[in-house]
Amino acid sequence: MTSRRRTPTTPILLAGWLFADLLLGLTIIMLGAQAPPPSPARSTAGVSTATPRPGSSPTPSPCATRIGGVRAEPTKISFRVTPGAGDSALTAQVRKKLLRHRKHLAGRHAGMVLTFGADGAAGDGVRLATRVNTALSKAYPNIFRTAATRNFHDLAAPSGSISMEIYFVTDGCSPAPKN
């Protein structure tokens, strides 16, 4: 009698490799999902060259590091323009309309601007919003030149309506750690 040796079938042989591949994949995912280690805070406070007065101690800087970002709450502005105006006329209209909002714009820098334009069809509204954003950077370059802009169409507004959500850049400081 011949003894038949039983050989495992192909799917059973592949199961071990499949398990190993899944384990390797999960390990890579877990390593990628971990947060990076915190970077050490660098002090931006300068060294004082002033001579201290007798009996006084130097005042520590309240800022350990400078931080910046974009405000979570936008400044919302709405106005009307003439959609068929040429580029220079549109820039003049935008400059004039934003003068009414100068107290919200003075001394600030826009980080992101969402512009909603209305001019008939959806593509026309997006084109109008694009033109207005170009006019913004020409009319007020110190505020809008480096801003990221996104152009949208406003379906509910009458033709020539512009609605903007301006997210300004913030600049603050991280408090110095206490010893």
Report if residue 108 sits inside a domain: yes
Helix (H, G, I), strand (E, B) or coil at 107: coil
pTM of this structure: 0.57
Report if residue 142 sits inside a domain: yes
Report if residue 86 sits inside a domain: yes
Report if residue 163 sits inside a domain: yes
CA atoms within 13 A on the CB side of 63: 10
**DSSP secondary structure letter of residue 176:** P
| Mean pLDDT per 10-residue interval, the chain, length 179 residues | 65 77 83 65 51 52 60 87 89 90 83 89 86 91 88 89 89 58
CATH number, position 165 = 3.30.1330
Report if residue 74 sits inside a domain: yes
Kindly state the tokens that stand for 117. 């334009």
Strands 148-153 and 110-117: parallel
Task: Report the largest interatomic distance among the alpha carbons of the chain, rounded to a whole angstrom.
Answer: 109
Number of domains in the chain: 1
DSSP string, 143-167: HHTT-EEEEEE-SSSPTTEEEEEEE
Report if residue 121 sits inside a domain: yes
Report if residue 47 sits inside a domain: no
Note the pLDDT of residue 38.
61
- Neighbouring residues of 158: CB distance < 8 A, sequence distance ≥ 6: 118
Full residue range of the structural domain in which residue 163 is found: 68-173
Report if residue 136 sits inside a domain: yes
